[in-house]
Amino acid sequence: DTAVSQTPKYLVTQMGNDKSIKCEQNLGHDTMYWYKQDSKKFLKIMFSYNNKELIINETVPNRFSPKSPDKAHLNLHINSLELGDSAVYFCASSLRTSGSSYNEQFFGPGTRLTVL
Amino acid sequence: GDSVTQMEGPVTLSEEAFLTINCTYTATGYPSLFWYVQYPGEGLQLLLKATKADDKGSNKGFEATYRKETTSFHLEKGSVQVSDSAVYFCALSTSFGKGTSLLVTP
């Protein structure tokens, strides 16, 4: 099936640990994103890559580091996890935007991170 | 920068009621506008979109019209069903509204 997939779906870990979330899309898109959704469902952009180049880097603690090995993959590594990092993290992809207009994004199923 | 403001819920309606979820935006240029829907435990999926002023996006009985003069993109449905219960997000570029939770009761 064509889709955006994320692993793992659930991640429970202790404060201070380092963890990674992987994302893959087979839609042929050239732009990928990471979003954080908090407990109130508020969705905030964290990073975006276009053709492996970082194009959006919002105000996010530098404990979060994205890596895009190729156009189809965008991983998120988090160092020294804190309680406030608990959230659902969504990966998304789209075709390259044109001027000020973005194309529709396709979202993965999310990774629920719980930091104890 | 770009931003979206949408009415906050939760919204509770009886089946077959009329739905409106308000959304206004601030943007430079003429961006495409989107409504996404998120069902419990799932990722967001595109519900409808409009790419230019006066365009009407529609899908599954939902509609929204891109109004440049009022910078609005309100979501409407004439008769909601229990299966429409979800969280709805208005969006432009990577800016999403805070989401409106809709619960439709039988």
Contact A43 B44 (CB under 8 A): yes
pLDDT at A100: 57
Identify the residue whose tokens are 């509770």. B12
In whole angstroms, what is the distance from residue A55 CA to residue A93 CA? 13
Contact B96 A102 (CB under 8 A): no
pLDDT tens column, B7-22: 888 999 999 999 999 9
pLDDT tens column, B50-102: 999 999 999 999 999 999 999 999 999 999 999 999 999 999 989 999 999 99
Contact residues, chain B, for A44 at CB < 8 Å: 96
What's the token pair of residue B71? 């910078």
